[in-house]
């Protein structure tokens, strides 16, 4: 198969997979409302059964890059499609708490494949790295945004099982099409000079350290903000908003994140990554600080700034791995990047509960702003380290 055709097809399936990854993972938190009504089990008991799925999403991302290097990225993405489809069917067939917990764990394991494998495939086949990263990010955002509404509609009209069976069928169909249309990994557009070329650095260990700090702090900031967002709107925007209106406002705010990813994708192709990293990261503590001390319209402005910066940062992080890590190590680098970013999410929910009880959302958002300052400091460190390299001719780290 012509390599250009292979790259185009690969990018399309990688984008679809990103949308499905976020959509399917968020089916259960909405479907659980209908499951509770039908089974008589309590909401708290049922939602707790999803712990394995979200823990698996973070922890299991770590070995996926190694598996992709060993068995092939195309083969692992095929496993993702089929694993997601079969796990959706498994959850739909569950009739006991044990069965729900088991199949949700399988679903979490399958979900962990996408980011380290799909991100590596994307940067390998990208024709314009920034643009393609931005488009891919939007697919993921809209997958997450559609999950609650589509799940509610399917559960209300066809039963909660349909909320899993329909997307499960879509995953299986996509898997069959992917295997038929994408015969292998291919050499990718990047090897022709159209994708991501490695930027040589003199102190890779120091860059890795500051980047790792930014990833961990960014994971905390991202999850503190996105998980708390609906309740922040409920408490601090205006009293008496309906649940539907709260959800609509939250969705509009998240749309700014998707638009920022598109814009940041274009900027990645035009400006140096350390400068973009520093410039974007300063917006997080500004937006979060504004949201922490205000209400009403100023609160909304602060949240929009924050969400735009958070989602734009995702594009920057993925582009930095593509530009600074040699191709042979990228899959493993993405595994570590997503392991660090996703695993800290497990600490966020109890943090929000504790801080909200002691100081309300002013404390929650203020703490997130402090983590935002850590990201900004790391970005300045990264900028300083890359500038100090000057124009030296250095070989990439092996």
Look at 106 and 253; give whichever has higher pLDDT. 106
Distance CA 293, CA 1 (A): 58
Structural tokens at position 383: 């900028």
Asked whether residue 102 carries a pLDDT value surpassing 90, the answer given is yes
Task: Name the pTM for this structure.
Answer: 0.75
Collect all residues with Cβ–Cβ distance below 8 Å to 379 and sequence separation of at least 6.
214, 274, 277, 278, 280, 281, 282
Percentage with pLDDT > 90 across the chain: 30
Task: Evaluate whether 22 touches 140 at the Cβ level (below 8 Å).
Answer: yes
393 pLDDT tier (thresholds 50, 70, 90):
very low
171 pLDDT tier (thresholds 50, 70, 90):
very high
For the chain, list the domains and their CATH numbers: 3-192 (1.20.1250.20), 204-388 (1.20.1250.20)
Residue range 240-245: average pLDDT? 60
What contacts 24+ positions apart, CB below 8 Å, involve 97-100?
A: 97/41, 97/45, 97/46, 97/49, 100/46, 100/49
Asked whether residue 220 carries a pLDDT value surpassing 80, the answer given is yes
* Residue-level pLDDT at 219: 86
Asked whether residue 214 carries a pLDDT value surpassing 60, the answer given is yes
Look at 303 and 248; give whichever has higher pLDDT. 303
Asked whether residue 396 carries a pLDDT value surpassing 50, the answer given is no
Asked whether residue 305 carries a pLDDT value surpassing 90, the answer given is yes
Residue range 254-269: average pLDDT? 83
Asked whether residue 336 carries a pLDDT value surpassing 80, the answer given is yes
244 pLDDT tier (thresholds 50, 70, 90):
low
Asked whether residue 56 carries a pLDDT value surpassing 70, the answer given is yes
Q: What is the mean pLDDT of the chain?
A: 83
Instruction: Looking at mean pLDDT, say which of 74-88, 263-277, 354-368 comes out highest.
Output: 74-88
Residue of 340, 367, 48, 339 lying closest to 228 (CA atoms): 367
* Residue-level pLDDT at 391: 40
* Residue-level pLDDT at 44: 65
* Residue-level pLDDT at 2: 75
* Residue-level pLDDT at 144: 78
Cα separations in angstroms, 59 against 112, 144, 157, 338: 8, 20, 35, 9
190 pLDDT tier (thresholds 50, 70, 90):
very low
Which of 116-130, 222-236, 368-382 bottoms out in mean pLDDT, i.e. has the lowest?
A: 222-236
Show the DSSP H helices in the chain as ranges.
3-25, 27-39, 43-48, 51-59, 61-71, 73-93, 97-125, 129-158, 160-181, 204-236, 243-268, 273-281, 283-293, 296-324, 330-343, 345-388
Look at 318 and 187; give whichever has higher pLDDT. 318
Instruction: Looking at mean pLDDT, say which of 117-121, 176-180, 381-385 comes out highest.
Output: 176-180
246 pLDDT tier (thresholds 50, 70, 90):
low
Which of 130-134, 259-263, 340-344 bottoms out in mean pLDDT, i.e. has the lowest?
A: 340-344
* Residue-level pLDDT at 397: 36
Residue range 213-223: average pLDDT? 88
Residue range 225-240: average pLDDT? 73
Look at 159 and 248; give whichever has higher pLDDT. 159
């Amino acid at each position: 198969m012509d390599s250009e055709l292979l790259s185009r097809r690969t990018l399309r399936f990688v984008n679809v997979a990103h949308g499905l990854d976020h959509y399917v993972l968020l089916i259960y938190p909405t479907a659980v409302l209908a499951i509770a009504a039908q089974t008589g089990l309590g909401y708290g008991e049922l939602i707790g059964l999803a712990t394995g799925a979200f823990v698996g999403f973070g922890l299991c991302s770590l070995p996926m890059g190694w598996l992709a290097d060993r068995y092939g990225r195309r083969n692992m993405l095929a496993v993702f499609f089929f694993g997601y489809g079969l796990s959706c069917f498994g959850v739909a067939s569950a009739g006991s708490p044990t069965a729900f917990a088991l199949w949700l764990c399988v679903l979490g394991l399958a979900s962990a494949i996408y980011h380290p494998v799909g991100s590596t495939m994307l940067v390998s086949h990208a024709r314009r790295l920034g643009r393609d990263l931005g488009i891919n990010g939007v697919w993921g955002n809209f997958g997450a945004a559609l999950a609650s509404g589509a799940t509610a509609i399917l559960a209300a009209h066809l039963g909660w099982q349909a909320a899993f069976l329909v997307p499960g069928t879509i995953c299986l169909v996509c898997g069959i099409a992917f295997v038929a249309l994408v015969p292998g990994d291919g050499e990718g557009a990047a090897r022709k000079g159209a994708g991501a070329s490695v930027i040589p650095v003199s102190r890779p260990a120091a860059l890795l350290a500051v980047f790792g700090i930014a990833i961990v702090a960014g994971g905390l900031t991202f999850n503190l903000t996105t998980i708390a967002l609906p309740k922040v709107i409920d408490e601090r925007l205006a009293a008496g908003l309906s649940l539907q209106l709260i959800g609509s406002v939250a969705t509009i705010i998240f749309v700014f994140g998707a638009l920022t990813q598109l814009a940041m994708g274009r900027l990645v192709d035009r400006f140096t990554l350390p400068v973009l990293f520093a410039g974007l990261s300063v917006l997080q503590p500004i937006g979060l600080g504004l949201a922490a001390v205000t209400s009403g319209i100023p609160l909304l402005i602060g949240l929009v700034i924050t969400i735009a910066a958070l989602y734009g940062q995702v594009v920057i992080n993925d582009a930095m791995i593509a530009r600074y890590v040699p191709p042979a190590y990228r899959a493993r680098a993405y595994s570590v990047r997503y392991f660090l970013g996703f695993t800290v999410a497990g600490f966020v929910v109890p943090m929000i509960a504790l801080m909200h009880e002691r100081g309300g959302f002013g404390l929650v958002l203020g703490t997130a702003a402090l983590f935002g300052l850590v990201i900004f400091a790391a970005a300045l460190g990264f900028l300083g380290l890359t500038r100090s390299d000057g124009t030296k001719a250095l070989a990439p780290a092996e």
